[in-house]
Structure 1
Amino acid sequence: MKFLELPILAIIVPCYNEEDVLPITAPLFLKKIQSLIEEGLVAKNSRIVFVDDGSKDDTWKIISNLSKQSVHCTGLRQSRNRGHQNAVYAGLMESKNWADITISIDCDGQDDIDAMDEMIFAYMQGAEIVYGVRNDRDSDKFFKKTTAHLFYKMLDLMGVEAIYNHADYRLVSSKVLNEFKKFDEVNLFLRGMFPLVGFNSSAVYYKRNERVAGKSKYPLNKMINLAFDGITSLSVKPIRLVTVLGLLMAFISFLVILWIFIKFFSGQTVSGWASNGTLVSLFCGVQLVCLGIIGEYIGKIYLEVKHRPKYIISDRTEIEHGD
């Protein structure tokens, strides 16, 4: 595919309490975008969009200084912390009207920025979405590696279309973002939503590095919440499993009742209160789990019908797109 004009690139970098990381990674992002411009892959007015997700440290101050030091750096500040997915979404939506392509990437330096070249080449070959995919998980500890594998397997079993070992490092064209904006759901699970948009897609494989500084902003509880959001936001299979489980329990109960009647009419004493109590406790536990699953979906509906905004920008650095 040939382009009459070079595409304008926006590199979306979500940040939350990253005062230790940004001084290290921001120069790397800046060097990369300058390199892409010099190589003639993207337009001169391409930019890095740092999205401050309601940080409590000096993250916004650093972003503001970066925007003053370089015309290629801009910043958006959310009014409060709304989560990583919402921060990425904010950057995408705020950039889609002036950028031809966007690449979202975490600011911790773990994703290989040199993979951007391959992403842009894939876009020039006709791909509207290019997924950055880890080629291995050697840098992860055993627990995270195992749980991540189980997470993607669970997504697959639940019918969620997600790219294995892909997080939020991806290139997306403005054409895709214009259609993606029509997805009105408040509960965002971007890695599972973009495959639903369609369009020609491709993948670029890269090796993930260690975090350059600071601590991960995704502890175990947040990863579990993300997993629940991914499954319940994009699949109704858990609800159907509740129905199947209910039918199975009803069938078991019917067999137990039938067994009791046979024992009774054959003159045998029906004993075993301990086993009966165990069965009752088991059924009650299963019912509570089922109620929890149903409640999760009801909670999702409750949040969706409110139609609250997915992000609110409180501050932004000045952007002059003509530079």
Structure 2
Amino acid sequence: MKLRLILGSAALAGAVAIVQGGLVAQAPPQAPPQAPPQAQAPAPPQTAQQAALADLTGYWVSVVDMDWRFRMMTPPKGDYAQVPMNAAARRIADQFNPALYGGANYQTSGIVDCRAYGAAGLMHMPTRLHITWDSPDVLKIETDWGQQTRLLHFTAGQPYRDMEQALRNGEVGGSHGPASMQGYSVAAWEQPYRRNASFFQRNTVGRGGGLGQNRAAEALAGGNLAVVTTDLAPGWLRRNGAPYSSRTRLIEHYMTFQDPTGKDWFDVTTEVIDPEYLNTPFYTTADFQKEPDGSKWAPHPCKMVQ
């Protein structure tokens, strides 16, 4: 009887040990599987307004600090200095008739033919500008003198571009519709590299200078706005009749800066390419200073001459 009790107790102890051992060896319970994280939808591309490298909006006044005699008054008939016109262009320009613009006082009468306010000459005229965003991808430039409006169209979803490369590739510079005084302008923000700067802003770099010798490490601060305009109606480069043709292509670069007093400015350099009337491209530059408001805005129409 005693032996049976001992054996029973031993069996019970063994069973308890087996159960305990099983509990120890059992793997901990697994957490329920979680669903994989959902991929985030890609952010929509920036508009040109959101991606702007500079703020050109507001009221601006032209500060005529060069080419005064060509810009602040009508040059004398036959004075086409600095314009690389060919013989065909001179024949047209020599038809300019001072009697239509004030007679003996035509140089200072303030009567200016609307053809002088076409896009190829507009930014070189003494005028005020009002620049606004007409839509998130269209920048609008209005002038008080001449009462012109330009629309600069950015490619949707592509606010940044190397405009020079785009021209080489044929991505810009084509026709977009009928000709007009302001034509059709394609715009882009160019990243701040010297290779993207305009003719006047390029510096000689490396052994040979020019486009092939530039490096990203030599970036300029800020960047600029590049614009290519085509579909232009014939117009004037100077208010005394120096012509450009409908085959003209206009390339512009706008760059903002501050002077030592903290005033805001922008500089615009233009390159006019006209295989019909110009022997070589015609380059100009103009500076505009920002004004606090539009209180000095003074619309002044140009003269339409048939």
TM-score, structure 2 normalization: 0.24
Higher helix share: 1
Higher strand share: 2
TM-score, structure 1 normalization: 0.23
Q: Kindly name which structure, 1 or 2, has the bigger radius of gyration based on alpha carbons.
A: 2
